Structure 1
Amino acid sequence: MEFRDVVRRRRMVRDYDPDRPVPPEVRERLLEHAIRAPSAGFSQGWAFLVLETPEERDRFWTATTGPGAPDGWLTRMRRAPLLIVPLSHKDAYLDRYAEPDKGWTDRDEGRWPVPYWDVDTGMASLLVLLTAVDEGLGACFFGIPPERVPAFREAFGVPGPYRPVGCVSVGYPGTEDKRSPSLRRGRRGTDEVVHRGRW
């Protein structure tokens, strides 16, 4: 598939065929492409928790959702045969930029205009989303509610320095996949968002 077609076809898929697992070689390509993302100072401060078995996926959904019957969105999302949780590791960046070749002598977080550890992990997540499209799969990036992060950490033994920036569900699109009502807003054109030379 041409790269421009991958970009144009990328969308968030919210329903999956539960009877079609993601082939192992495709799963590995998703992860191999993720680690090709750019990272400040080549810090590579990310990690990826891969959840494939029904038990692992059930544990994830139990830890990250509230009690009660699941709504339609959650029912469809739970069908995804593969979940990849990208986690950022701030200390990798603070340590890297305290090394002699970077010129800083401390680990002051205040030097960073934005949290590049999260930005870079987000870029790695985007490569997973684009690779999924290229492989004929659907995928969706969604957040873990902040109040559920402690339960998620406990359920999977995630070390304190690693922060989940979200989750990517992956699989073959299901028959109930619907376009988000948000799309009715329309995609903003470059004439609305691009400022050339001056705002």
Structure 2
Amino acid sequence: MVRGYDPDRPIPPELVDKIVRHGLRAPSAGFSQGWSFLVLTSPEDRGLYWSSTAEDAGPAEGWLARMRDAPLIIVALSNKSAYLDRYAQADKGWTDRDESRWPAPYWDIDTGFAALLMHLTAVNEDLGSCFFGLPAGRVGAFKAAFGVPDEFHPIGALTVGYPGPDKRSPSLRRGHRPVADVVHHGRWASSGEV
């Protein structure tokens, strides 16, 4: 993921459209498609995003400050009610909207899949992209600033743009975990470390 962008290179509108359209091809439980995406390209909208999600603990530093140069922000929003309604339909076999039947929140998972497809499309087009969460305490301010309906919940945002100068994150210096620690065949086996 890229955390610094070239502020002087806008993304062509047809490429923004391609990125978003590829996200809509993500898997969706019951083809519920309980997602929406807030696409912010204008400087005013991007500024409103950053001001509505800014923590009150002082100025943004480091990686977050560099992210502000991204010419595109896509906020991925999930809608749980779309899934509960869909699975209460006759062809799904449930007769109510009981959330306890769900082993995981597929409304968030499917929305995350869609965001990943957008991220991969951006990377495939030689763009940089970074997926990150909104500060929990600022979700209400973000939703109010953009008029997001109550049933939609932001699961995260993608910044997208042409990469700026490479500033390696300290996190990357850790490297990838060994395959043997994360891939298990047949039965769970552990190297003893998590």
Per the shorter chain, which TM-score range? over 0.9
Map 1:15-164 onto structure 2 (within 5 A).
Answer: 15-67=4-56, 68-164=58-154
**Amino acid paired to 1:141:** F
TM-score by length of structure 1 reads: 0.92
* 1:195 corresponds to: 184
**Amino acid paired to 2:99:** E
Question: 1:184: Cα distance to partner?
Answer: 1.8
**Amino acid paired to 1:127:** L
Q: Measure the CA separation in 2 of the matches of 1:147 and 1:110.
A: 26
- Where 1:166 maps in the other structure, the secondary structure is strand
Q: Measure the CA separation in 2 of the matches of 1:66 and 1:145.
A: 7
- Where 1:165 maps in the other structure, the secondary structure is strand
Q: Measure the CA separation in 1 of the matches of 2:88 and 2:33.
A: 15
**Amino acid paired to 1:164:** P
* 2:192 corresponds to: none
* 2:191 corresponds to: none
Question: 1:30: Cα distance to partner?
Answer: 0.6
Q: Measure the CA separation in 1 of the matches of 2:55 and 2:37.
A: 24
* 1:5 corresponds to: none
- Where 1:57 maps in the other structure, the secondary structure is helix
Question: 1:186: Cα distance to partner?
Answer: 1.4
- Where 2:153 maps in the other structure, the secondary structure is strand
Q: Measure the CA separation in 1 of the matches of 2:8 and 2:172.
A: 28
Q: Measure the CA separation in 1 of the matches of 2:43 and 2:75.
A: 16
Q: Measure the CA separation in 1 of the matches of 2:132 and 2:168.
A: 15
Is the Cα–Cα contact under 8 Å of residues 55 and 135 in structure 2 kept in the other structure? no
Q: Which runs of 5+ in 2 are unaligned?
A: 189-194
Q: Measure the CA separation in 2 of the matches of 1:152 and 1:26.
A: 26
**Amino acid paired to 1:129:** H
Question: 1:185: Cα distance to partner?
Answer: 1.7
Q: Which runs of 5+ in 1 are unaligned?
A: 1-11
Residue 160 of structure 2 corresponds to residue 170 of structure 1 = yes
Q: Measure the CA separation in 2 of the matches of 1:178 and 1:111.
A: 45
Q: Measure the CA separation in 2 of the matches of 1:128 and 1:31.
A: 6
Is the Cα–Cα contact under 8 Å of residues 134 and 157 in structure 2 kept in the other structure? yes
Q: Percent identity between the aligned chains?
A: 65
RMSD, aligned α-carbons = 0.9
- Where 1:37 maps in the other structure, the secondary structure is coil
